[in-house]
């Protein structure tokens, strides 16, 4: 693990294991450590490439950047390590980035896993949900707001209180605002048919951030896509149904 210079900034990149490359991309406000359980398991069979996206974790945090910058960063990482073809797993924000990568470089991505995705958005899903429940959140700090919103984001809010950190952020308010701005006004719907990768779309039935209807849109527009709805999950199926989640992905990667 270490910093590499990419597109004018330093990116923190963590590589583990050997085998076919698998790029793993985290959600907004977090970093690659939030997916450490998946990384450690996949690294037993794959060369996992996990980064802190720009504006996150130990990577540099420019004031302004875009979703396309995230896409360019990961394509640059593939070039840096001379990786011609890889699989990509993206979770939430990571799934938006993953879509952008598979659109921009369709011949370089062989398998694509989109966890709790959406194909378009005017704002980040977190911002949208907070706006929708603004009266309920009035006067609450960010931690209190996330605790309040768990019932809209997850199947089992009490369970997810033990993992509240995956919904929170260590970023400053200004840094978190920049991260949210990067996700504003994107729309991949007209370009998703360009994706050549065999694709798995996973949604959680109780996800109020990116509900299954959003995942179904992605799957319907990608030519070789399969949609799976997890029945006892919300926006964190990797925490709410971890064994089933990993089995679905392993089966997909091996077939």
DSSP annotation string for 156-186: -HHHHHTTGGGTS--S-HHHHHHHHHTTTTE
pTM: predicted TM-score of the whole model, two decimal places: 0.96
Instruction: Provide the domain count of the chain.
Output: 1
Divide the 255 residues of the chain into consecutive groups of 10 and give the mean pLDDT of each group.
Answer: 92 97 97 95 98 98 98 98 98 98 98 98 91 95 93 95 92 95 96 98 97 98 98 97 97 95
Q: What is the CATH number for 21?
A: 3.40.50.1820
Give me the sign of the Cα torsion angle 234, 235, 236, 242: positive
**What does R_g of the chain's alpha carbons equal in angstroms?**
17
Q: Which tens digit of pLDDT belongs to each residue from 173-220?
A: 999 999 999 999 999 999 999 999 999 999 999 999 999 999 999 999
Domain containing residue 40: 2-254
């Amino acid at each position: 693990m270490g910093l590499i210079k990419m597109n004018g900034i330093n990116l923190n990149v963590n590589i583990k294991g050997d085998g076919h490359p698998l790029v793993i991309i985290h959600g907004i406000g977090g970093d690659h450590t939030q997916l450490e359980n998946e990384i450690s398991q996949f690294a037993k069979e794959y060369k996992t490439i996990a980064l802190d996206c720009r504006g996150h974790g130990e990577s540099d945090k420019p004031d302004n950047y875009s979703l396309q910058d995230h896409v360019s960063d990961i394509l640059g990482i593939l070039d840096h390590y001379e990786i011609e073809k890889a699989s990509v797993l993206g979770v939430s924000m990571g799934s938006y980035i993953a879509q952008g990568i598979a659109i921009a470089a369709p011949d370089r991505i062989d398998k694509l896993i989109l966890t709790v995705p959406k194909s378009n958005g005017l704002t980040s899903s977190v911002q949208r949900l907070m706006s929708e429940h603004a009266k309920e959140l009035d006067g609450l700090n960010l931690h209190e707001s996330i605790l309040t919103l768990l019932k809209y984001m997850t199947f089992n809010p009490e369970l997810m209180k033990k993992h509240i950190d995956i919904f929170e952020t260590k970023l400053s308010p200004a840094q978190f605002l920049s991260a949210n701005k990067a996700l504003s006004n994107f729309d991949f719907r007209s370009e998703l048919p360009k994706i050549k990768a065999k694709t798995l779309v996973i949604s959680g039935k109780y996800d109020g951030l990116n509900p299954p209807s959003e995942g179904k849109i992605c799957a319907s527009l990608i030519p070789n896509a399969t949609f799976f709805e997890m029945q006892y999950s919300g926006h964190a199926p990797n925490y709410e149904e971890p064994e089933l989640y990993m089995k679905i992905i392993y089966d997909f990667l091996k077939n």
